[in-house]
Amino acid sequence: MTELTRTNFEQTVSKRGIVLVDCWATWCGACGGFEQTYKTVADRHPKHTFAKLDVGRYGEICSTLGLTHVPSLLLYRDGILLFKDSGSFDEATLNEIIDQAEKLDMDMVREELGVEEDGNDLNAS
């Protein structure tokens, strides 16, 4: 489990593959309940990166992302934010979110978003 900070957030979510981010807070009861589910699903998907972001310590990152509730879940694939939602997810739902992200044709996603594979905007040239 990767603990995200100001210094490693961008590098972590920008890497190739699937990166899930659990945005949580110490004062959030639902966050504590979701923690075990998140760990269980992480154990089932060792090829993906599972990270945690403490909104109490790094609220500016959450503000930049437009997050207003915790827990919140972010899913990036190849540096592209594909999923952002608040709430606790059960194991089946979390596995389905991951399965859907794995099945995506990322070339098509990049084309629709106008983003080259290295993250540069296609329309900028």
User: Is 124 within a domain?
Assistant: no
The number of distinct structural domains making up the chain is 1
Angle at 40 between CA 38 and CA 42, to 5 degrees: 65
Ramachandran quadrant class, 93 (left: phi over 0; alpha: psi -120 to 50; beta: rest): alpha
User: Is 98 within a domain?
Assistant: yes
User: Is 122 within a domain?
Assistant: no
Q: Are strands 72-77 and 18-24 parallel, antiparallel or unpaired?
A: antiparallel
User: Is 69 within a domain?
Assistant: yes
Provide the pLDDT confidence category of residue 107 given band limits of 50, 70 and 90. Answer: very high
pLDDT at 122 over 50: no
pTM for the model: 0.90
Residue 31 is among the residues annotated as catalytic for this protein: yes
Q: Which of 4, 19, 31, 98 is catalytic?
A: 31
Distance CA 12, CA 61 (A): 13
Which whole number is the average pLDDT over 44-68?
94
User: Is 123 within a domain?
Assistant: no
The reported pLDDT for the residue numbered 118 is 59
Residue 62 is among the residues annotated as catalytic for this protein: no
Residue range(s) defining the domain that contains residue 48: 2-116
Distance CA 124, CA 39 (A): 40
The domain that holds 16 is classified in CATH as: 3.40.30.10
User: Is 83 within a domain?
Assistant: yes
Q: Which of 2, 28, 58, 104 is catalytic?
A: 28
